[in-house]
């Protein structure tokens, strides 16, 4: 089942999703990057997976068109969402950030990307996860895949906070030890992994409070009969999703570093035997020191940028995030779209 449908139609949790996706992304990004491949192999990969038509279409649909007030492809929005969209389209900082993301997407050739990574292309059960539809694959910035996945999971969280828990919850896969977010000690989701700041915790608490108010509002719109059991399970699902987001990033960073250390160790051994091995441009340490990683500041900045524009694209662009369809109350849906 697609993760998106499992989340919104069936109220499922996927306790191994973070582990499985972090393993996939750490391996695919690492082994197709300059951490492993020679410059010649990197160039060959970039040519082999150029996918120029798809890349050009992605640039338009994901990045530029949603913020283009003259684009006719964008879908019709509710008045409240349209007003917010116009604010974004006139925001100088947003447009500057957009230009930076477009340059990054065009010019950075850091690793092989899925290039269409979202919860509709992840199939999962309680014990397994598969990533499908790799036909858009190209070589580009690591932050694009990471940001698109982060953005769509954040959208899923916002939608779940507004989605009344009236759907049938078919034996949801509950994660062990589900608990209130205020007791988890979860680091700020939108803070850099190496930073002591926790700006993300403000976002989370705000979203949680808005969601509770929205659920109460939904009760007044025909959902008074929903059981406390369903409401509790929805709350658990939201808490699991935030935990999974943080776990995914932490595990991705850890697994990537382990792969990096393995290669550095092998290269150091090769140099000790007088064999050829790549070193960084300065010649003063392992070549990995000069290469991008998920935790590096620039990849992290790219990730946040692409996550933001992915969320914008799936809220005001041509295609809406499918989870919005599960919020049947138009007022609540508009609120969810603006909060996103």
Q: List the pLDDT tens digit at each of the 340 positions of the chain.
A: 999 999 999 999 999 999 999 999 999 999 999 999 999 999 999 999 999 999 999 999 999 999 999 999 999 999 999 999 999 999 999 999 999 999 999 999 999 999 999 999 999 998 999 999 999 999 999 999 999 999 999 999 999 999 987 654 544 454 444 444 334 444 434 434 444 333 232 223 333 444 444 444 444 444 455 568 888 888 999 999 999 999 999 999 999 999 999 988 887 777 766 555 554 443 444 556 678 999 899 999 999 999 999 999 999 999 999 999 999 999 999 999 999 8
Q: For 241-244, which contacts have Cβ atoms below 8 Å and span 24 or more sequence positions?
A: 241/7, 241/13, 241/153, 241/156, 241/157, 241/160, 242/157, 242/181, 242/186, 242/189, 242/204, 243/175, 243/184, 243/186, 244/14, 244/17, 244/18, 244/153, 244/175
pLDDT for res 28: 97
Q: Which residues contact 282 (CB under 8 A, 6 or more apart)?
A: 290
Residues 96, 81: Cα–Cα separation, whole Å = 22
DSSP 95-136: HHHHHHHHHHHHH---EEE-SS-STTSEEE-SS-EEE---TT
pLDDT of amino acid 274: 57
- pLDDT of res. 124: 96
Please report the pLDDT score of residue 225 as a whole number: 52
Q: Report the C-alpha gap between 33 and 50 in whole angstroms.
A: 15
Query: What pLDDT is stored for residue 200 in this prediction?
Result: 30
Q: What is the largest CA-CA distance in the chain?
A: 75
User: Phi and psi (nearest 5°) for 117?
Assistant: -90, 110
- Mention every residue, 6+ apart, whose C-beta is less than 8 A from residue 225: 166
Closest CA to 131 of 113, 147, 144: 113
Length of the chain: 340
**What pLDDT score was predicted for residue 226?**
52
d(CA 34, CA 110) in angstroms, rounded, equals 7
């Amino acid at each position: 089942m697609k993760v998106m449908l499992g989340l919104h139609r069936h109220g499922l949790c996927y306790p191994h999703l973070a582990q499985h996706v972090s393993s996939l992304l750490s391996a695919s990004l690492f082994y197709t990057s300059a951490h492993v491949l020679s410059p010649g192999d990197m160039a060959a990969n970039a040519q082999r997976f150029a996918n120029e038509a798809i890349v050009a279409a992605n640039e338009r649909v994901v990045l530029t068109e949603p913020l283009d007030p003259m684009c006719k492809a964008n879908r019709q929005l509710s008045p409240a969402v349209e007003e917010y969209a116009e604010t974004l389209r006139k925001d100088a900082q947003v447009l500057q950030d957009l230009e930076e993301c477009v340059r990054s997407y065009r010019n950075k050739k850091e690793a092989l990307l899925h290039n269409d990574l979202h919860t509709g292309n992840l199939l999962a059960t309680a014990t397994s996860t598969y990533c499908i539809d790799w036909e858009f694959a190209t070589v580009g910035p690591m932050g694009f895949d990471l940001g698109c996945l982060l953005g769509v999971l954040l959208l899923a969280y916002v939608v779940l906070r507004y989605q009344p828990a009236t759907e049938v919850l078919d034996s949801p896969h509950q994660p062990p030890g589900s608990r209130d977010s205020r007791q988890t000690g979860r680091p700020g989701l939108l803070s850099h992994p190496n930073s002591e700041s926790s700006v993300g915790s403000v976002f989370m608490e705000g979203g949680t409070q808005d969601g509770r108010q929205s659920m109460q509002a939904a009760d007044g719109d025909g959902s008074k009969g929903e059981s406390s059991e369903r409401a509790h399970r929805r709350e658990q699902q939201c808490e699991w999703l935030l935990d999974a987001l943080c776990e995914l990033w932490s595990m991705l960073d850890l697994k990537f570093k382990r792969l990096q250390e393995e290669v550095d160790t092998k290269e150091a051994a090769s140099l000790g035997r007088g064999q050829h091995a790549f070193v960084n441009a300065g010649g003063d340490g392992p070549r990995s020191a000069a290469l991008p990683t998920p935790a590096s500041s620039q990849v992290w900045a790219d990730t946040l940028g692409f996550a933001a524009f992915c969320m914008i694209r799936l809220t005001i662009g041509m295609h809406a995030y499918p989870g919005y369809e599960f919020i049947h109350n138009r007022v609540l849906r508009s609120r969810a779209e603006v909060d996103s």
